[in-house]
Structure 1
Amino acid sequence: MKTIQILLIGILFMTYSFSTQAQVSVNVNIGTPPAWGPSGYSAVDYYYLPDIEAYYDVRATEFIILSNGRWIRSRNLPNQYRSYNLYNGYKVVLNDYRGKTPYANFKTHKIKYYKGYKGKPQKNIGVYKVNNSSSIKANKNYKSEPGNHGNNKKDKGNNGHGKDKN
């Protein structure tokens, strides 16, 4: 009888231990929009970047770029876009697309959101920092200016890395 009691206590202890461990949760910020992303959206899957005809996958934190006829994913923009300023460039929010191939609609996006396209004014989630460590004062939101895409000689853009390195 005593052996059965010990066995039952052991099983209860293991069950309690397992259920306690099962209640531990992990909170990981997968899919957090980048600082250069437009503010005001609660659910974002992809951005289309008309000026460079590329996509950004918010959940995977990767750019999707057409290269030699193939769509490739990369954490950074390719060298040819090193002077492109993600904070100033217009971002089309594609929050109605599910799946991993937003470029399946590329022909439509390319026509509808042509290079130089500007929809409604956007404010970025974060503040854009100029390379000399002085930041543009915008209280947490930097309003992109029409026509300014990192072509100013003082503005080095993001050096093709998709994130501000300062």
Structure 2
Amino acid sequence: MKTIRLAIAGLFLLVASATQAQVSINVNIGTPPSWGPAGYAEMEYYYLPDIEAYYDVRASQFIYFGDGRWVRTTYLPRQYRNYDLYGGYKVVLNDYHGRTPYAYFDRHRARYYKGYHGTPQRCYQPRPVAYGYNDRHDNRRDYKHYDKKRYDKHDRDDRHDDDHDHDDHRGHGRR
């Protein structure tokens, strides 16, 4: 009886963990990036004309030409690390389904030249707030009234007044 209960519990745990793993895989594959253009139900690739590169939505990889070949990476190459993905224009390639969108690179480059801007785009999510200076939340303060000399002077005056108060209290306590 114990072995049957253990077998059922083990089977239950196995099914639960397999179901949980399947859900996480389905959720992560093919999710458009936050900087991707909103309003497209099915898309596999973006072409980024400003940097002449592609983005594979399903694999979450950039595809660019480097060192004489097409390279797939999760990050942009060093020369484009400061490229603004939120502000740059993205061409959604709805007409291509395969693994090598760069097979049509000459056509894409001619049609969507550097600086190309078609219809206005809106990203899936707003640009994240960068750490550091932000116009809306300027945490810098005007510390002029905390001038060290004035502060030290006030600090000394307060100590001086306190000394007199203590002397006065001591003197009154003795009478």
1-side partners of 2:86 and 2:99: how far apart?
24
Q: Going by fraction, where is helix more abundant, 1 or 2? A: 2
Rg larger in structure: 2
TM-score, normalised to structure 1, is: 0.65
Structure 1 position 21, deviation (Å): 4.2
- Which runs of 5 or more residues in structure 2 are unaligned? 137-175
Task: Compute the displacement of 1:129 (Å).
Answer: 2.2
C-alpha RMSD of matched pairs (Å): 2.5
Structure 1: 4+ residue segments shifted above 2 A: 20-25, 129-136
Give the superposition deviation at 1:24.
4.0
Alpha-carbon separation, structure 1, partners of 2:51 and 2:135: 25
Q: Which has the higher contact order (CA 8 A, sep 6+)?
A: 1
Aligned partner of 1:41: which letter?
A: Y
Q: 1:132 maps to what in 2?
A: 131
Deviation string, structure 1 residues 48-70 (Cα, Å, up to 9, x no partner):
00000000000000000100221
Distance change (3 Å), C-alpha of 1:67 and 1:135: farther
- Structure 2 counterpart SS, 1:104: helix
Q: 2: distance between equivalents of 1:37 and 1:50?
A: 14
Name the CA distance, whole Å, in 2 between partners of 1:49 and 1:95.
14
Identity score, percent: 55
Question: How many correspondences in the alignment?
Answer: 122
TM-score (norm 2): 0.62
Aligned mates of 1:128, 1:67 — CA distance in 2? 28
